[in-house]
Amino acid sequence: MGRATRNLFVGVCVVLWLAPLYLLAVNVLTPAGAYSGSPDWSPQGFALWENLSTAWNEAKIGSGVGSSMTYALVCGAVAVFVAAMASFAVVVLPIPKPAFWFWLIYSGTLFPVQMFLGPLFGMYADFNLYDTRLGLMLVYVAWNIPFAFFLIRNQLTTMPPEVTEAAMLDGASFRRIFWRIHLPLLAPSLGAAFIFQFSAVWNDLLFGITLSRSSDVQPVMATLAALDSAYAATGPPVILAGALIVSLPTLLLFLMFRGVFLRGVASSVR
């Protein structure tokens, strides 16, 4: 493949990727009452702030943003910390059959989450966890642990065992070794894992619409889906304004911490 062909292929991919973003940016400016019913390729007015305000307040996107921010921050951090402890146990601690424990935890990424929804819904109904923030947080933490464990464990296997041996010769306990030595050294993979898990929780729709129904409990993607339902009273410009609001946190997170993300991924795939 020549350079011209490669450049043409890359150019076509860029256009295909940017076209939906351009349509979103143009149509979110259109006043809701002036929307023609089909996407406009040129601005038909400027009602950005009105559409954003309607999506935030009247369509209750703001409530969903607050809920998802809580879920993503808390559940992402808890899942990463638990995954770090599990990785330390599998790689450093002298436990029997570490490969078995690795595959047992990592298998959580191998099965589609749809197969768990039926039993999970019934269990949540029996234990009064349905439509509660605690219920969603529990499932988000459990859902995020396996992949975070995979990333962190991969970096942990690259650390020389002499580090642990030297600390033990100095009289350090495994708890002290974990907190004072391994946890600081794992900072890149911890950061990358947190960004992955924050994005996963933030973008979740399936658990949100299955395990909750109240507007003050549902995550933002479920709120956005309700805004785009056949019974919604808002027009497409307001829906696009809601989509714009929803897309900003993960984009800003990646742009702000892209260096940490790249270092963490690189250290986990050596």
Classify the C-alpha dihedral 41-46-49-53 as positive or negative: negative
Q: Is the pLDDT at 231 greater than 50, yes or no? A: no
For the segment 38-62, the average pLDDT, to the nearest whole number, is 76
Angle 114-73-234 (CA atoms, 0-180°, nearest 5)?
70
Select the more confidently predicted residue: 46 or 204.
Answer: 204
**pLDDT at residue 36 in the model:** 67
Residue 118's alpha-carbon distances to 51, 103, 114, 143, in angstroms, are 37, 24, 8, 16
Q: What is the pTM of this model?
A: 0.83
**pLDDT at residue 45 in the model:** 73
Sorted by sequence, the CB contacts under 8 Å of residue 216 that are 6+ apart come out as 63, 67
CATH superfamily of 62-268: MetI-like (1.10.3720.10)
Mean pLDDT for all residues in the chain = 84
Query: Which range is least confidently modeled, 46-55, 81-90, 148-157?
Result: 46-55
Of the pLDDT bands very low, low, confident and very high (cuts 50, 70, 90), residue 270 is low
Which ranges of the chain would DSSP assign to H, the alpha helix? 3-27, 48-53, 61-91, 98-106, 114-126, 133-156, 161-169, 174-177, 183-185, 187-202, 206-210, 220-227, 236-256, 258-268
**pLDDT at residue 230 in the model:** 46
For the segment 21-35, the average pLDDT, to the nearest whole number, is 76
Query: Which range is least confidently modeled, 59-63, 141-145, 163-167, 240-244?
Result: 59-63
pLDDT single digits (tens) 108-151: 888 888 888 888 888 998 899 999 999 999 999 999 999 999 98
- C-alpha to C-alpha distance for 77 and 68, rounded to whole angstroms: 14
**pLDDT at residue 86 in the model:** 93
Select the more confidently predicted residue: 41 or 19.
Answer: 19
For the segment 246-263, the average pLDDT, to the nearest whole number, is 79
Residue boundaries of the structural domains of the chain:
1-46, 62-268
pLDDT single digits (tens) 56-94: 877 678 888 889 999 999 999 999 999 999 999 998 888
Of the pLDDT bands very low, low, confident and very high (cuts 50, 70, 90), residue 52 is confident
For the segment 147-157, the average pLDDT, to the nearest whole number, is 89
Torsion angle of alpha carbons 251, 257, 259, 265, nearest 10°?
-80
Of the pLDDT bands very low, low, confident and very high (cuts 50, 70, 90), residue 14 is confident
pLDDT single digits (tens) 187-223: 888 988 999 899 999 999 899 989 988 888 989 898 8
Q: Is the pLDDT at 22 greater than 70, yes or no? A: yes
Q: How many CB atoms lie within 10 A of CB 23?
A: 14
For the segment 253-262, the average pLDDT, to the nearest whole number, is 75
For the segment 26-48, the average pLDDT, to the nearest whole number, is 73
8 A C-beta contact, residue 238 and residue 59 = yes
Q: Is the pLDDT at 233 greater than 60, yes or no? A: no
- C-alpha to C-alpha distance for 186 and 204, rounded to whole angstroms: 27
- C-alpha to C-alpha distance for 177 and 47, rounded to whole angstroms: 57
Instruction: For the chain, give the number of residues.
Output: 270
8 A C-beta contact, residue 222 and residue 212 = yes
Q: Is the pLDDT at 13 greater than 80, yes or no? A: yes
8 A C-beta contact, residue 32 and residue 47 = yes
**pLDDT at residue 69 in the model:** 93
